[in-house]
């Protein structure tokens, strides 16, 4: 499976063709058309038709991933979400986002269903990826097992609003990164242990671009691969946070070369670079910056 960056995942209501058009034309690395929380119960059946039409007919800017979010597996909507959208637009779908994943069995259900649908529609087996949202205490507890439940799982996504409700938190909008540091760290560790991406929660104050930038930078420092967005105005700050700057890349290359030369010519495993001590452990951070740049460059190549 070829890597594609997930610095930003822009979600929008599946019942609004206007919003889906804007999302498709945006600079987001991935767009997600939502059949779950952003879609009223009375609109879900109609929204499936709109989402299928959007996936099949809209012009998508760049090499972005095309996704839609189904309802949770314990609802009466999940099966039809999967079947009706894929029947109409399966060859245009890269990812299905599964919300409120509590245990590996939730992923198993979706993946078995996907295998049958792909076979019935003549799609490549395993073509459609799955992103699992960690939004409950039970889901967090089982995060590693969820990430390893199927080769289709390519990322875990932290859903702060539902998680706050499940925890009984009185607020999730103010100082969310401090209040929910433990679940974010736990999910990130599970994703890394399983070898999948980790996507940070959305900043609901979408007009506060300074806050979006701050939270995105903190998530990137922590080790996250990307962040959810609910408005195109959030994409710029998010991409800036998750894309190494030219200065960072040059510094990383210089550190790697200096360390390599010291190893070859002096046989030492720790060097001084500027006013900083650098050893093998330090290199991992610099290697990640270069790896991100290489992946982004490969993804953007024609």
Domain ranges of the chain: 8-242, 246-300
Most confident stretch, 37-51, 73-87, 258-272 = 73-87
* CATH architecture, domain defined by 8-242: Alpha-Beta Barrel (3.20)
* pLDDT confidence bin for 300, thresholds 50/70/90: low
The answer to whether 156 and 146 have CB atoms below 8 angstroms apart is yes
* Integer angstrom CA distances of residue 287 from 185, 241, 261, 263, 284: 21, 17, 16, 17, 5
Predicted local distance difference test score (pLDDT) of residue 299: 63
Give the tens place of pLDDT for each residue, 94-114.
Answer: 999 999 999 999 999 999 999
How far apart are the two ends of the chain, measured CA to CA in Å?
17
Exposure of 236 in the CB half-sphere (CA atoms within 13 A): 7
Tell whether the model's pLDDT for residue 221 goes beyond 50: yes
pTM value > 0.85: yes
Scanning the structure block, which residue is given the tokens 């080769």?
Answer: 151
Predicted local distance difference test score (pLDDT) of residue 248: 80
The tokens describing 25, both together, are 């034309």
Tell whether the model's pLDDT for residue 296 goes beyond 80: no
- Say whether 171 sits in a helix, a strand or coil: coil
Rg of the chain over Cα atoms, rounded to whole angstroms, equals 20
Average pLDDT over residues 254-259: 83
Secondary structure (DSSP) of 82-109: HHHHHHHHGGG--EEEE-S--SHHHHHH
Tell whether the model's pLDDT for residue 297 goes beyond 80: no
With residue 237 as reference, give the H or E element that holds it. helix 235-242
d(CA 32, CA 230): 10
Q: What percent of the chain has pLDDT over 70?
A: 97
Average pLDDT over residues 163-189: 91
* pLDDT confidence bin for 29, thresholds 50/70/90: very high
With residue 185 as reference, give the H or E element that holds it. helix 181-194
Average pLDDT over residues 190-214: 94
Tell whether the model's pLDDT for residue 69 goes beyond 50: yes
Predicted local distance difference test score (pLDDT) of residue 301: 60
| Average pLDDT score, the chain | 91
Predicted local distance difference test score (pLDDT) of residue 278: 78
Predicted local distance difference test score (pLDDT) of residue 2: 52
Average pLDDT over residues 72-78: 96
Tell whether the model's pLDDT for residue 1 goes beyond 60: no
């Amino acid at each position: 499976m070829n890597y594609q960056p997930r610095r930003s995942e822009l979600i929008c209501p599946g019942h609004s063709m206007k919003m889906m058009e804007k999302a498709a034309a945006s600079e987001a690395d991935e767009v997600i058309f939502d059949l779950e929380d952003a879609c009223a119960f009375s609109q879900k059946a109609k929204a499936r038709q709109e989402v299928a039409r959007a996936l099949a007919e809209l012009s998508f800017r760049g090499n972005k991933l095309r996704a839609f979010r189904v309802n949770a597996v314990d609802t009466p909507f999940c099966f039809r979400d999967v079947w009706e959208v894929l029947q109409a637009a399966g060859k245009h779908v890269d990812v299905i986002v599964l919300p409120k994943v509590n245990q590996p069995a939730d992923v198993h259900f979706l993946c078995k269903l996907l295998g049958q649908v792909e076979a019935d529609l003549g799609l490549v087996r395993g073509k459609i990826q799955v992103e699992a949202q960690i939004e409950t205490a039970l889901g967090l507890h089982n995060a590693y097992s969820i990430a390893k439940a199927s080769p289709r799982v390519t990322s875990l996504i932290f859903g702060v609003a539902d998680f706050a409700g499940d925890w009984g938190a009185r607020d999730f909008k103010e100082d969310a990164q401090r209040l929910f540091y433990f679940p974010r760290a736990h999910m990130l560790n599970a994703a890394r242990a399983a070898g999948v991406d980790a996507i940070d929660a959305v900043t609901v104050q979408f007009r506060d671009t300074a806050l979006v930038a701050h939270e995105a930078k903190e998530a990137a420092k922590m080790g996250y691969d990307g962040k959810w967005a609910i408005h195109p105005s959030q994409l710029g700050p998010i991409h800036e946070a998750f894309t190494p700057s030219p200065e960072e890349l040059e510094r990383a290359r210089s550190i790697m070369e200096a360390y390599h030369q010291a190893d070859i010519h002096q046989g030492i495993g720790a060097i001084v670079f500027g006013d900083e001590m650098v050893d093998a452990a330090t290199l991992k951070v610099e290697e990640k910056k270069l790896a991100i740049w290489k992946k982004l460059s490969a993804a953007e190549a024609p």
